[in-house]
Amino acid sequence: MTIALASAAPARPGRWARALAPATEALALLAVLVLLWPAFERVADFGEGRGARYAPRGIEVEGLPAPVLPSVCAAVTMRSTLRDALCGTRGAAGGTVPTALPPELQQAVARAARAFGAPVADAQARLDALRLRQHEGVGAVRASADAIAAIEADMQPYLDRYQLQGGDAGAPRPLQCALQWTRAALADGDDAARADALLLLAAALDGRTLPSAAAPLAAPAVSGCAADGAAALAATATLMADARQSLVRARKNEATRALFRSAGSQWGAALLLSYAMLLWSRRARSALLGAGVALGLWSLAAWAARVPWPLAGARAFEPGRAEAAWTSAPAPFVIAFALAGLLLIGAALVRRPAAAAPTATLSSRAGFAGLALATGLGWLLLLELSAHGHALNRYLALYHQGHLWLGMLVFSLLGFGRRPLARALGRALALAGAWRRRSAAWLPPLLAALVLLLGAAVALLVFGLLLKNLRQLTSELGRIWLIVGAAWFFLLRAGPLTRRLAAGDAMDVSLWRYAWPLFFVVGMLVGAMVITRDMGPLLIAAYASGAFVGAAFAMWWQLRGGGSAGAVALALLLFVGWIVAITAALFQAGQVDAVTAARLESLAAPLASTNDQLALVSWFQRAAPPQGYGLGAVPWCGHAPAAQCSGVPAQIHSDYTFTAIVGVFGAAAAWGATLGTALWLHRLIRRHGRVTRGEPRLIALGNGRFAHDGQALLSWLAVGWVVLSLCQLAVTVAGNLAVLPLTGVTFPFVSYGMSSLLVNLGFLALALTVDLPPEARDG
């Protein structure tokens, strides 16, 4: 594809083909919606999930105080022995430790007591009203008695759970004991002891696990309490953490039950909105106006569907609408996106109207339908795994709702901003190239190379220090780096004009001089992945680099006078040899990395290895019936009790997506999804070679103005992304089939993972639309 894009001449598609293409695209999307809708109807019957994991868990505590540890850390003297464990660098430099409880802690204790006591007071009021009605003979006596018994049955687990028997003002007994111990420590201790006591009480109120060093400091017994201070503080911390998380879990359970009922309609509505934005982006003259409208519409969608904010954290839950009622106020992130959209719309209206945009069309009739099929299949798998798989993964579908919303928003924004992005990226890369050429003119070649290597080493060191433990982020950043770097290399090296200009001194161009920028890009990626120990993307990049290097070698061969057929043959030969060499190196040198060594051991002896995931996955694939178990009937956990899951690995939603498809829909469906994804990716870039020569050129904007055409760079970006996605697809399927050691890479568009989904949707937005060359425009 790379050689084809570099040598193709822009062609004019037929008039009838251009007229019928949008209709064909819409019909393909409609076919996918009809195909998957019955599956979403089955999801609507999931109810409370396996073992009633989403069932209401009784009375929840609302109105707990906000965290108080940060404010206490800021006020307490640095003489506390626990400041490093609880405060880090937030402690104050000095000051006097109070001998009484500070106001913020008093208010927090009082608010906690009211929060725990409110359900008790409410239940008592209802009981008194029912008993009064029963005493006065109002209504049915039996009905009143049943209502009283139901309230008492609900309240007793709540009283036991939070140890409220015998407490005054509704405060749990551990909190009362911890408060007594703190007051005693403030009255009798020195400055360090008082500071420790305040920090420990604040941490317990926040639900923080207390450090081990706190046990001997809080060991003295508390008057009137069975436990000492350390036990009371630990029990308070556990109790407060449970109360805080129980409310969040209750809201997540409610949202997940609602999601099962509405997942199909939400998926369909998101696709239709994205498709409408895509159609508009192909005709829009103002990218700012389109982006502003997209932000506004997707903000409205987040409010209407109560989409959770995907960046809120793993345990947090911030829906787009706080409550299920339609009168509920929108979340802060919804308001922020809506305001940003209004600002962009205002900026677009006050700007001078843009010149006529280039005529744009779709790159593939099956492009958007393929996206719909992949995202629908992925969400069905996550809904199934959330409801019936590992209990730890029970909220994956709820989180993916936010991921899909954010991904579709990025898709819409880049659909409108593809041309400005291409111009900005091309300008930035051109400036970087000009700076490098000026530096090379000032410095001797050897010194220039040393400066470049030193700068690369510093950049890698900074990258590794900042992002060492963020593998999901580093893998996607590395992928973007390789795609952009390869696209820029081929843009400047692969065009017919470039080859003609270099034909005069072609015999003097060495392979190293011709391809060193590509080797630099690949080397930087390898260094970054080694520093961050992100070996999965490193394997993908290593395989994809073979395609890029083979294409560069073929173009260099043509530059030196070789024929096209020989260049293609050499490129294929080099690519196959590269794949074989990388695979051999993986098996020979993989023991250097502990994770890779464990995966290799699992591949070589799956039953004897300490990691038995591959053995479980292989067995599950063989045990699954040819047509799959079907939604709601997959034995993900075997015959384990509801609270356990000893079946497939917990990473079934990401690393083992191919196996998950086998389990739900059968082996034929899994292979169909794999081969269909590969064919779909190829179809996305097949037309790019027909609309661009793959080299920079100028286009007339009118009024004597010219600008760089960004389609060539966008096409190279699409080609690079497709090459990496195909390699990623091949590696993840080979890992599921025990051909290669699994490296933690996802199935494109289907597996769970926000970073991967966002990057893929962003590049898909750049690939789905192509600008026709001037000679292909009407009029």
Q: For 392-435, what is the HEC assignment?
A: HHCCHHHHHHHHHHHHHHHHHHHHHHHHHHHHHHHHHHHHHHHH
Selected residue with higher pLDDT from 73 and 722:
722
* Residue 260: per-residue pLDDT: 94
Cβ burial, residue 302 (10 Å; 0-12/13-18/19+)? buried
Residue 700 parent element (H or E): strand 698-702
Residue 734 in tokens: 């080979």
Span 315-335, pLDDT tens digits: 678 999 988 888 888 999 999
Predicted TM-score of the model (pTM):
0.84
What pLDDT score was predicted for residue 702? 53
- Beta-carbon contacts of 566 under 8 Å, excluding residues fewer than 6 positions away, are 557
Name which residue leads in pLDDT, 117 or 605.
117
pLDDT of residue 168: 47
Q: Are 277 and 290 in contact (CB under 8 A)?
A: yes
What is the rounded average pLDDT of the residues 436-441? 70
- Residue 228, strand partner residues: 221
Calculate what percentage of the chain has a pLDDT beyond 70: 79
| Distance from C-alpha of 555 to C-alpha of 2, rounded to nearest angstrom | 10
Residue 555: name the closest of 511, 501, 504 by CA: 511
Residue pair 43/386 in contact (Cβ under 8 Å)? The answer is no
In the beta sheet, which residues pair with residue 705?
A: 702
Task: Compare 398 and 615 and report the one with higher pLDDT.
Answer: 398
Q: Rounded to whole angstroms, how far apart are CA atoms 716 and 722?
A: 10
Higher-pLDDT residue of 406, 524: 406
Specify the range with the lowest mean pLDDT, choosing from 287-301, 358-372, 470-484: 470-484
Instruction: Return d(Cα 80, Cα 197) in angstroms, integer.
Output: 9
Higher pLDDT, 270 or 490: 270
Q: How confident is the model at residue 14 (pLDDT cuts 50, 70, 90)?
A: low
**pLDDT tens per residue across span 709-765:** 788 889 999 999 999 999 889 888 988 888 877 666 789 999 998 888 999 999 999
pLDDT, residue 218, reads 59
Overall average pLDDT of the 65-92 stretch: 72
Tally Cβ neighbours within 10 Å of residue 705: 9
Q: What is the pLDDT of residues 444-462, one digit of tens each?
A: 767 777 777 787 777 777 7
- Chain-centre distance for alpha carbon 589: 31
CB neighbour list of residue 592: distance below 8 Å, 6 or more residues apart: none
Q: What is the DSSP letter of 707?
A: E
> What is the reported pLDDT for 189?
67
Indicate if the pLDDT at residue 581 is higher than 50: yes
Distance (Å, whole) CA 208 – CA 67:
10
The C-alpha atoms of residue 119 and residue 132 are separated, in whole angstroms, by: 20
As given in the structure block, the two tokens for residue 595 are: 């994770």
pLDDT at residue number 122: 83
Which SS3 state, helix, strand or coil, does residue 499 take?
A: helix
Burial class for 272, CB neighbours closer than 10 Å (0-12, 13-18, 19+): middle
Instruction: Please give the mean pLDDT across all residues of the chain.
Output: 80
Given this model, what pLDDT does residue 779 score? 31
pLDDT of residue 668: 94
pLDDT confidence of residue 140: 62
Task: Say which residue, 323 or 382, is predicted with more confidence.
Answer: 382
- Which is more confident, 589 or 275? 275
Gyration radius of the chain's alpha carbons: 31
DSSP one-letter code for 650: G
pLDDT for residue 697 is more than 90: no
Direct distance between the N- and C-terminal alpha carbons of the chain, in angstroms, rounded to an integer: 31
- CB of 41 within 8 A of CB of 261? no
Alpha-carbon dihedral 369, 375, 381, 387, rounded to 10 degrees: -130
Phi and psi angles of residue 700, each rounded to the nearest 5 degrees, phi first: -85, 130
166: left (phi over 0), alpha (psi -120 to 50) or beta: left
**The two structure tokens encoding residue 222:** 């508390």
Tell me which residue of 387, 395, 397 sits closest to 642, measured CA to CA: 387
Lowest-confidence range among 155-159, 353-357, 678-682, 709-713? 353-357
In this predicted structure, the answer to whether residue 489 has a pLDDT above a threshold of 50 is: yes
pLDDT at 682 > cutoff 80? yes
Would you state the torsion angle of the CA atoms of residues 373, 377, 383, 387, taken in this order, to the nearest 10 degrees?
Answer: 160
The yes-or-no verdict on residue 340 having pLDDT over 90 is yes
CA–CA separation, 751 and 383 (whole Å): 12
Give the separation between CA 156 and CA 710, rounded to whole angstroms: 68
- The domain spans of the chain are 2-43+355-772, 69-247
Q: Is residue 663 pLDDT above 70, yes or no? A: yes
Give alpha helix (H) positions in 282-366. 287-305, 332-350
Give ∠ CA 395-537-730 in degrees, rounded to 5. 85
Judge contact between 362 and 275, C-beta under 8 A.
no
Per DSSP, the three-state class of 308 is strand
- CB burial string 561-583: b at 16+ within 10 A, e below: eeeeeebbebbeebbeebbeeeb
How far, in Å, CA of 605 to CA of 597, rounded?
12
- Given a cut of 50, whether residue 83 has pLDDT beyond it is yes
507 has a pLDDT exceeding 50: no
| Alpha helices (H) in 44-102, listed in sequence order | 69-75, 83-86
Least confident of 4-13, 382-391, 418-427, 759-768: 4-13
> pLDDT at residue 179 above 80?
yes
Which has the higher per-residue pLDDT, 508 or 301? 301
Among 528-532, 633-637, 764-768, top mean pLDDT goes to: 764-768
Which range has the worst mean pLDDT, 48-57, 87-96, 389-398? 87-96
How far is 311 from 399, CA to CA, in rounded Å? Answer: 10
Comparing 88 with 628, which gets the higher pLDDT? 628
CA-angle at 749, arms to 746 and 755, nearest 5°: 65
Q: Quote the CA–CA distance of 233 and 200 in Å, as a whole number.
A: 7
pLDDT-derived band at 172, boundaries 50, 70, 90: confident
- E-strand ranges in 262-407 read 360-362
Q: 318-322, 647-651, 682-686: which has the minimum mean pLDDT? A: 647-651
Query: Is pLDDT at 150 greater than 70 in this prediction?
Result: yes
The whole-number average pLDDT for the span 534-563 is 74
User: pLDDT value at position 358?
Assistant: 74
Note whether 749 and 369 are within 8 A (CB). Answer: no
Q: What angle do CA 399, 405, 407 make, to 5 degrees?
A: 100
Kindly report which listed range (89-93, 193-197, 378-382, 625-629) carries the lowest average pLDDT score: 89-93
DSSP secondary-structure letter at 637? T
Virtual torsion, Cα 101, 105, 108, 109, nearest 10 deg: -30
Query: How does pLDDT run across 254-270, given as a tens digit for each residue?
Result: 999 999 999 999 999 99
Amino acid at 5: L
Helix axes of 667-686 and 367-388: crossing angle, nearest 10 degrees: 150
Q: Which of 147-151, 313-317, 583-587 has the highest mean pLDDT?
A: 147-151
